[in-house]
Amino acid sequence: MGRRILVQRKGRGTTQWRSPGHKKIAPARHPKWAPGKTYVGTIVNLHHESGRGAPLAIVRYGGETKLHYMVAPEGAQVGQILECGENAHLENGNTMMLEYIPEGTPVYNIEGSPGDGGKYVKASGLTATIVSIDKTRAMIRLPSGAQKAFSPRCRATIGIVAGGGRPEKPFLRAGAAWHSVSGTAQKWPVVRGTAMNACSHPHGGHSHKPKTTSRNDPPGRKVGSIAARRTGLKSK
């Protein structure tokens, strides 16, 4: 009987590997606005969303009944007043276009293109820094250290994403780690191939076979270093 390894099961795309969308509340995006208008809102609640490290702030703008969800800034609290628009004040949690934000200001939830709602720097504890702004582009230093150019018409939120230091807390129990991973599209724990039996994985059973495999191998064999040109440490 042929083996059915982890890579084959993952390729099937069953519910074990799919993101649990039914646990999601709403996408955290900047609200749509009319040019030249500034919206004033109030944080009515802070909520945790499964699979997201940063807390969500539920905001109601003006007299609207519709609720908006945004990635909460560091120091956010219920009842805090937020502004979103071209004439918003330069304060923590307010959303503005990059062309109106001074250089050196920490920002997060940056739009990749004007009006997309925000795609960059949304994880807990992260922030980006505006390096330079001119009429054609805004250079921003991302948390990775890389600099990326954005349109000055893209929006961003001033401040730092809440939830900083979350990964620094150790998992004291295996059950805590399991519950943490259960909200994401991952499998945990993952057993090493070398720890399996020979009937369960090509690397199992104390195999001394090479860990490299051909590009044309069948799915049950294609694990390890696939079509590797070389292996091992490079000699000086």
pLDDT of res. 2: 60
Counting beta carbons within 10 angstroms of the beta carbon of residue 115, is it exposed (0 to 12), middle (13 to 18) or buried (19 or more)? Answer: exposed
Provide the residue range defining the domain that includes 120. 24-163
What mean pLDDT comes out for the span 159-175? 93
Quick count: other Cβ atoms within 10 Å of Cβ 181?
14
Residue 85 is encoded by which pair of tokens? 């628009």
Domain with residue 115: its CATH number is 2.30.30.30
pLDDT value at residue 182: 82
Q: Pick the residue with more confidence: 231 or 158?
A: 158
Given 130, 163, 196, which residue is the final one in a domain? 163
Residue 16 lies in a domain: no
27 compared with 184, residue with greater pLDDT: 27
CA–CA gap between residue 175 and residue 173 (Å, rounded): 5
| Torsional sign, CA 175, 179, 181, 182 | positive
State the total domains in the chain. 2
In a domain, 8, yes or no: no
Asked if pLDDT for residue 72 goes beyond 60, the answer is yes
In the predicted model, what is the mean pLDDT of residues 29-54? Answer: 89
* pLDDT confidence of residue 103: 94
Q: Could you tell me the CATH number of the domain that includes residue 202?
A: 4.10.950.10
Query: Could you tell me the pTM of the whole model?
Result: 0.79
Residues 202 and 146 in one domain: no
Task: Respond yes or no on whether the N-terminal peptide bond of residue 210 is cis (omega within 30° of 0).
Answer: no
Q: What is the mean pLDDT of residues 165-187?
A: 88
Is 1 part of a structural domain of the chain? no
pLDDT one-digit tens code per residue, 205-230: 887 878 899 999 888 888 889 999 98
